[in-house]
Amino acid sequence: MADSSARPLPSDAGPSLPIVGKSDTKPTWCPGCGDFGVVAAIEMAVKRLKLPSQNVVIVSGIGCSSNLPHFLSSYGFHGIHGRSLPVAEGIRWANHGLTVIGTGGDGDGFGIGAGHFVHAMRRNVDLTYVTMDNQIYGLTTGQASPTSTMGAKTKSTPNGVIEQPIDPIALALASGATYVARGFSGDVKQLADLVAGGIQHRGFSFVDVFSPCVTYNKINTFDFFRQRVYKLESAGHNPADPVAAWQRALEWGDKIPIGLFYSVDRPTYEDLEEVLSAGPLAHQPAGLRSGDAVLDEFV
Protein backbone atom coordinates (compact mmCIF):
# COMPACT_ATOMS: atom_id res chain seq x y z
CA MET A 1 0.00 0.00 0.00
CA ALA A 2 1.41 3.39 -0.98
CA ASP A 3 2.28 5.74 1.87
CA SER A 4 0.78 9.16 1.17
CA SER A 5 3.16 10.74 3.67
CA ALA A 6 6.34 9.55 1.95
CA ARG A 7 8.92 12.22 1.21
CA PRO A 8 10.57 12.44 -2.23
CA LEU A 9 14.05 11.03 -2.69
CA PRO A 10 16.90 13.55 -2.45
CA SER A 11 17.54 15.33 -5.73
CA ASP A 12 21.17 16.15 -4.93
CA ALA A 13 22.43 12.58 -4.56
CA GLY A 14 24.62 12.88 -7.63
CA PRO A 15 27.91 11.16 -8.36
CA SER A 16 29.86 13.87 -6.50
CA LEU A 17 28.16 12.95 -3.22
CA PRO A 18 29.12 9.52 -1.85
CA ILE A 19 26.19 7.35 -0.83
CA VAL A 20 26.10 5.78 2.63
CA GLY A 21 27.81 2.40 2.71
CA LYS A 22 30.07 0.34 4.97
CA SER A 23 32.73 2.18 6.95
CA ASP A 24 36.28 1.00 7.53
CA THR A 25 35.35 -0.11 11.06
CA LYS A 26 34.35 -3.77 11.22
CA PRO A 27 31.55 -4.98 13.54
CA THR A 28 32.78 -6.69 16.69
CA TRP A 29 29.54 -8.50 17.53
CA CYS A 30 29.54 -12.18 18.44
CA PRO A 31 29.52 -14.45 15.35
CA GLY A 32 25.91 -15.07 14.35
CA CYS A 33 24.51 -12.03 16.21
CA GLY A 34 21.24 -10.78 14.76
CA ASP A 35 22.60 -7.25 14.63
CA PHE A 36 24.64 -8.11 11.53
CA GLY A 37 21.34 -8.47 9.67
CA VAL A 38 20.14 -5.10 10.97
CA VAL A 39 23.19 -3.13 9.86
CA ALA A 40 22.96 -4.86 6.47
CA ALA A 41 19.28 -3.89 6.17
CA ILE A 42 19.95 -0.25 7.06
CA GLU A 43 22.78 -0.13 4.52
CA MET A 44 20.50 -1.63 1.86
CA ALA A 45 17.76 0.87 2.68
CA VAL A 46 19.91 4.00 2.51
CA LYS A 47 21.62 2.80 -0.66
CA ARG A 48 18.25 2.16 -2.28
CA LEU A 49 17.16 5.70 -1.35
CA LYS A 50 20.51 7.06 -2.62
CA LEU A 51 21.09 9.04 0.58
CA PRO A 52 24.40 10.96 0.55
CA SER A 53 26.65 10.27 3.52
CA GLN A 54 26.83 13.98 4.37
CA ASN A 55 23.03 14.14 4.78
CA VAL A 56 22.60 11.18 7.16
CA VAL A 57 23.20 11.03 10.92
CA ILE A 58 22.90 7.76 12.86
CA VAL A 59 22.51 8.16 16.63
CA SER A 60 22.77 5.48 19.30
CA GLY A 61 22.89 5.01 23.05
CA ILE A 62 24.70 2.21 24.90
CA GLY A 63 24.64 -1.53 24.28
CA CYS A 64 25.93 -4.09 21.80
CA SER A 65 23.54 -2.78 19.14
CA SER A 66 24.47 0.83 19.85
CA ASN A 67 27.87 0.32 18.22
CA LEU A 68 26.04 0.40 14.88
CA PRO A 69 26.85 4.03 13.87
CA HIS A 70 30.53 3.08 13.70
CA PHE A 71 29.91 0.59 10.90
CA LEU A 72 28.33 2.87 8.27
CA SER A 73 29.88 5.79 6.38
CA SER A 74 27.45 8.45 7.57
CA TYR A 75 27.75 10.94 10.39
CA GLY A 76 27.30 9.20 13.73
CA PHE A 77 26.80 10.01 17.38
CA HIS A 78 27.40 7.33 20.02
CA GLY A 79 25.69 8.73 23.12
CA ILE A 80 24.98 7.61 26.66
CA HIS A 81 22.59 4.95 27.93
CA GLY A 82 18.96 5.59 27.01
CA ARG A 83 19.56 9.06 25.59
CA SER A 84 19.77 8.42 21.86
CA LEU A 85 16.36 9.91 21.07
CA PRO A 86 16.89 13.30 22.78
CA VAL A 87 20.13 13.65 20.82
CA ALA A 88 18.39 12.59 17.60
CA GLU A 89 15.60 15.11 18.22
CA GLY A 90 18.14 17.87 18.86
CA ILE A 91 19.90 17.08 15.60
CA ARG A 92 16.61 17.16 13.70
CA TRP A 93 15.64 20.53 15.16
CA ALA A 94 19.06 22.05 14.60
CA ASN A 95 19.06 20.90 10.98
CA HIS A 96 15.87 19.25 9.80
CA GLY A 97 17.37 18.97 6.34
CA LEU A 98 19.22 15.89 7.62
CA THR A 99 17.96 12.32 7.64
CA VAL A 100 18.24 11.13 11.24
CA ILE A 101 18.18 7.45 12.21
CA GLY A 102 18.20 6.35 15.84
CA THR A 103 19.45 2.87 16.71
CA GLY A 104 19.68 0.90 19.94
CA GLY A 105 18.51 -2.10 21.89
CA ASP A 106 15.54 -3.07 24.02
CA GLY A 107 17.31 -2.19 27.27
CA ASP A 108 18.52 1.16 25.97
CA GLY A 109 15.20 2.13 24.39
CA PHE A 110 12.51 0.54 26.54
CA GLY A 111 14.26 0.61 29.93
CA ILE A 112 16.18 3.73 30.88
CA GLY A 113 15.14 5.42 27.61
CA ALA A 114 11.41 4.60 27.78
CA GLY A 115 10.32 8.12 28.70
CA HIS A 116 12.19 9.63 25.76
CA PHE A 117 10.73 6.94 23.48
CA VAL A 118 7.14 7.85 24.41
CA HIS A 119 7.58 11.61 24.11
CA ALA A 120 9.42 11.50 20.78
CA MET A 121 6.49 9.50 19.39
CA ARG A 122 3.77 11.80 20.72
CA ARG A 123 5.62 14.77 19.23
CA ASN A 124 5.78 12.92 15.88
CA VAL A 125 9.36 14.03 15.32
CA ASP A 126 10.38 13.25 11.76
CA LEU A 127 13.03 10.59 12.35
CA THR A 128 13.42 6.81 12.16
CA TYR A 129 14.14 4.67 15.22
CA VAL A 130 15.36 1.10 14.75
CA THR A 131 15.63 -1.12 17.83
CA MET A 132 17.50 -4.40 17.94
CA ASP A 133 15.26 -6.29 20.35
CA ASN A 134 17.03 -9.41 21.64
CA GLN A 135 15.03 -9.67 24.90
CA ILE A 136 18.18 -9.67 27.03
CA TYR A 137 20.94 -7.32 28.17
CA GLY A 138 23.77 -8.59 25.99
CA LEU A 139 26.54 -6.06 26.67
CA THR A 140 26.38 -6.69 30.44
CA THR A 141 26.32 -10.45 29.84
CA GLY A 142 22.79 -11.72 30.14
CA GLN A 143 20.43 -9.94 32.53
CA ALA A 144 16.66 -9.72 31.95
CA SER A 145 15.56 -6.76 29.84
CA PRO A 146 12.20 -4.93 29.58
CA THR A 147 11.12 -7.32 26.79
CA SER A 148 12.26 -10.59 28.41
CA THR A 149 9.34 -13.01 28.58
CA MET A 150 7.70 -14.08 31.82
CA GLY A 151 9.55 -17.02 33.37
CA ALA A 152 12.79 -16.48 31.43
CA LYS A 153 15.76 -17.55 33.53
CA THR A 154 18.62 -15.09 33.18
CA LYS A 155 21.68 -14.02 35.16
CA SER A 156 19.55 -11.49 37.08
CA THR A 157 16.45 -13.74 37.33
CA PRO A 158 17.71 -17.26 38.11
CA ASN A 159 14.22 -18.33 39.18
CA GLY A 160 12.52 -16.73 36.17
CA VAL A 161 11.29 -13.24 35.23
CA ILE A 162 8.24 -12.22 37.31
CA GLU A 163 7.42 -9.01 35.40
CA GLN A 164 5.23 -8.58 32.33
CA PRO A 165 7.30 -7.67 29.26
CA ILE A 166 6.79 -4.38 27.46
CA ASP A 167 5.02 -4.68 24.10
CA PRO A 168 6.96 -2.16 21.96
CA ILE A 169 4.46 -2.23 19.08
CA ALA A 170 1.45 -1.57 21.34
CA LEU A 171 3.39 1.15 23.18
CA ALA A 172 4.26 2.84 19.88
CA LEU A 173 0.63 2.76 18.72
CA ALA A 174 -0.56 4.19 22.05
CA SER A 175 2.07 6.93 22.04
CA GLY A 176 1.35 8.34 18.58
CA ALA A 177 4.03 6.96 16.29
CA THR A 178 2.83 7.40 12.72
CA TYR A 179 4.80 4.49 11.20
CA VAL A 180 4.96 1.32 13.27
CA ALA A 181 6.69 -1.81 11.98
CA ARG A 182 8.42 -4.95 13.16
CA GLY A 183 11.10 -6.89 11.34
CA PHE A 184 13.27 -9.96 11.86
CA SER A 185 17.01 -9.92 11.31
CA GLY A 186 16.68 -13.37 9.78
CA ASP A 187 14.80 -11.75 6.86
CA VAL A 188 17.07 -8.90 5.75
CA LYS A 189 15.15 -8.18 2.55
CA GLN A 190 11.85 -7.49 4.28
CA LEU A 191 13.67 -5.58 7.03
CA ALA A 192 15.37 -3.34 4.46
CA ASP A 193 11.94 -2.61 2.94
CA LEU A 194 10.57 -1.62 6.35
CA VAL A 195 13.55 0.62 7.16
CA ALA A 196 13.39 2.31 3.75
CA GLY A 197 9.66 2.88 4.22
CA GLY A 198 10.33 4.37 7.64
CA ILE A 199 12.97 6.75 6.33
CA GLN A 200 10.66 7.95 3.54
CA HIS A 201 7.73 8.39 5.90
CA ARG A 202 7.22 11.92 7.25
CA GLY A 203 6.86 11.52 11.00
CA PHE A 204 8.15 9.27 13.77
CA SER A 205 8.93 5.88 12.25
CA PHE A 206 9.51 2.98 14.61
CA VAL A 207 10.96 -0.33 13.43
CA ASP A 208 11.32 -2.93 16.18
CA VAL A 209 13.55 -5.81 15.10
CA PHE A 210 13.73 -9.32 16.49
CA SER A 211 17.51 -9.57 16.59
CA PRO A 212 18.51 -12.74 18.47
CA CYS A 213 21.40 -12.72 20.94
CA VAL A 214 23.16 -15.99 20.17
CA THR A 215 25.33 -15.84 23.31
CA TYR A 216 22.99 -15.04 26.20
CA ASN A 217 19.42 -15.70 25.04
CA LYS A 218 18.85 -19.39 24.36
CA ILE A 219 15.05 -19.00 24.26
CA ASN A 220 14.29 -16.37 21.61
CA THR A 221 16.61 -17.79 18.98
CA PHE A 222 16.58 -17.60 15.18
CA ASP A 223 14.80 -20.95 15.10
CA PHE A 224 12.26 -19.73 17.67
CA PHE A 225 11.26 -16.83 15.41
CA ARG A 226 11.51 -18.70 12.10
CA GLN A 227 8.90 -21.17 13.39
CA ARG A 228 6.52 -18.41 14.49
CA VAL A 229 6.76 -15.22 12.44
CA TYR A 230 4.38 -14.50 9.59
CA LYS A 231 4.24 -11.47 7.30
CA LEU A 232 1.38 -9.02 7.69
CA GLU A 233 1.39 -8.24 3.97
CA SER A 234 0.69 -11.91 3.27
CA ALA A 235 -2.18 -11.93 5.77
CA GLY A 236 -4.18 -9.15 4.12
CA HIS A 237 -3.46 -6.63 6.90
CA ASN A 238 -4.43 -3.00 6.22
CA PRO A 239 -1.83 -0.68 7.85
CA ALA A 240 -4.26 2.24 7.56
CA ASP A 241 -6.64 0.55 10.03
CA PRO A 242 -5.65 1.43 13.63
CA VAL A 243 -8.01 -1.15 15.15
CA ALA A 244 -6.51 -3.93 13.04
CA ALA A 245 -3.03 -2.71 14.02
CA TRP A 246 -3.93 -3.02 17.71
CA GLN A 247 -5.27 -6.51 17.22
CA ARG A 248 -2.11 -7.63 15.44
CA ALA A 249 0.10 -5.94 18.06
CA LEU A 250 -1.40 -8.14 20.77
CA GLU A 251 -0.59 -11.40 18.96
CA TRP A 252 2.16 -13.40 20.63
CA GLY A 253 2.55 -17.15 20.82
CA ASP A 254 2.61 -19.76 18.09
CA LYS A 255 2.14 -16.98 15.52
CA ILE A 256 3.89 -13.61 15.72
CA PRO A 257 3.33 -10.93 13.05
CA ILE A 258 6.12 -8.96 11.36
CA GLY A 259 5.76 -6.20 8.80
CA LEU A 260 4.06 -2.80 8.72
CA PHE A 261 1.41 -2.57 11.44
CA TYR A 262 0.34 1.05 10.98
CA SER A 263 1.04 4.11 8.88
CA VAL A 264 -0.79 7.44 8.90
CA ASP A 265 -0.15 10.93 7.54
CA ARG A 266 -0.11 13.46 10.40
CA PRO A 267 1.66 16.84 10.82
CA THR A 268 5.14 16.47 12.26
CA TYR A 269 6.70 18.47 15.06
CA GLU A 270 8.81 20.22 12.45
CA ASP A 271 5.69 21.15 10.46
CA LEU A 272 4.06 22.78 13.48
CA GLU A 273 7.03 24.53 15.09
CA GLU A 274 7.04 28.11 13.76
CA VAL A 275 10.74 28.63 14.43
CA LEU A 276 11.55 25.88 11.91
CA SER A 277 9.31 27.27 9.17
CA ALA A 278 12.12 29.48 7.85
CA GLY A 279 14.30 26.43 7.25
CA PRO A 280 16.87 24.48 9.25
CA LEU A 281 18.20 26.45 12.23
CA ALA A 282 21.73 25.64 11.12
CA HIS A 283 21.10 27.65 7.95
CA GLN A 284 19.28 30.59 9.55
CA PRO A 285 21.13 33.78 10.47
CA ALA A 286 22.03 33.97 14.15
CA GLY A 287 20.73 37.53 14.43
CA LEU A 288 23.94 38.83 15.96
CA ARG A 289 25.22 42.32 15.37
CA SER A 290 28.81 43.07 14.52
CA GLY A 291 30.85 43.15 17.71
CA ASP A 292 28.43 41.07 19.81
CA ALA A 293 30.34 38.91 22.27
CA VAL A 294 27.80 36.26 23.21
CA LEU A 295 30.23 34.02 25.08
CA ASP A 296 31.87 36.59 27.34
CA GLU A 297 29.81 35.57 30.35
CA PHE A 298 30.79 31.92 29.93
CA VAL A 299 34.58 32.27 29.55
pLDDT of residue 276: 87
Q: Which strand (E) or helix (H) includes residue 58?
A: strand 56-60
- What pTM did the predictor assign? 0.90
pLDDT of residue 284: 83
User: ∠ CA(194), CA(198), CA(203), 5° rounding?
Assistant: 155
Residue 59 main-chain phi, psi, to 5 deg: -120, 140
Please give the average pLDDT of every successive group of 10 residues along the chain, which has 299 residues: 48 62 92 97 96 95 93 93 94 93 95 95 97 95 95 95 96 98 98 98 98 96 98 97 97 97 96 88 76 60
Residue 62: other Cβ atoms inside 10 A: 22
Per the prediction, the chain carries an average pLDDT of 91
Greatest CA separation found in the chain? 69
User: ∠ CA(221), CA(224), CA(230), 5° rounding?
Assistant: 125
pLDDT of residue 292: 63
pLDDT of residue 291: 62
Domains with residue ranges and CATH for the chain:
35-298 (3.40.50.970)
Beta pairing partners, 181: 207, 260
